[in-house]
Structure 1
């Protein structure tokens, strides 16, 4: 299952905002940037939603895997994991998150990667 479009970030202005103002949280295999949401710069019809949610984006470089099938499968798994975690936790403020997978020593099993993701989300205060 993929994140519903209400949970995704769209548009280059949103990503620029995340890169400029986002607070970074590092782990061995991931980088998480979190910034306060600015719905007015959101692309499309989703900018009118002012609810307290966390919208997410996942970036996986071709350096992680040369095969797009593997990168897309990994992206879908992480999006689903984020959706399950963030929907079950009430948010204090509306925020945007950008999760970047680093190309270092990718584990064969997805479980350690999802545990790292949970740790970063806890460090950022997005889940408890």
Structure 2
């Protein structure tokens, strides 16, 4: 019984920390190919200060830290098309993706975010 308790908590830990389970994602290289071939919805969820340092062309902007993020993002997007979401490194975009999925959007997280995009330029 004593051996099962740590196993139980370890299992619980992995289940709760895997918030990206079921979240579709693409690499920045895959995103570049998509941007060349299609007119996709791209959402940048970084702060205005970060956006001033550079952004991916065609991106729409909605700061994840704004209290009205869900409304602002939803109003600027089409629910009938997938939404590709990026931030600086990929963590905030994963969180934003969860929020948008709850609103009924099909969301794809961009792995590595803008940092990875710049590295590959």
**Greater relative CO (CA pairs within 8 A, separation 6+):** 1
Task: Determine which structure has the larger strand proportion and give its number.
Answer: 1
Task: Determine which structure has the larger helix proportion and give its number.
Answer: 2
Tell me which structure has the larger Cα radius of gyration: 2
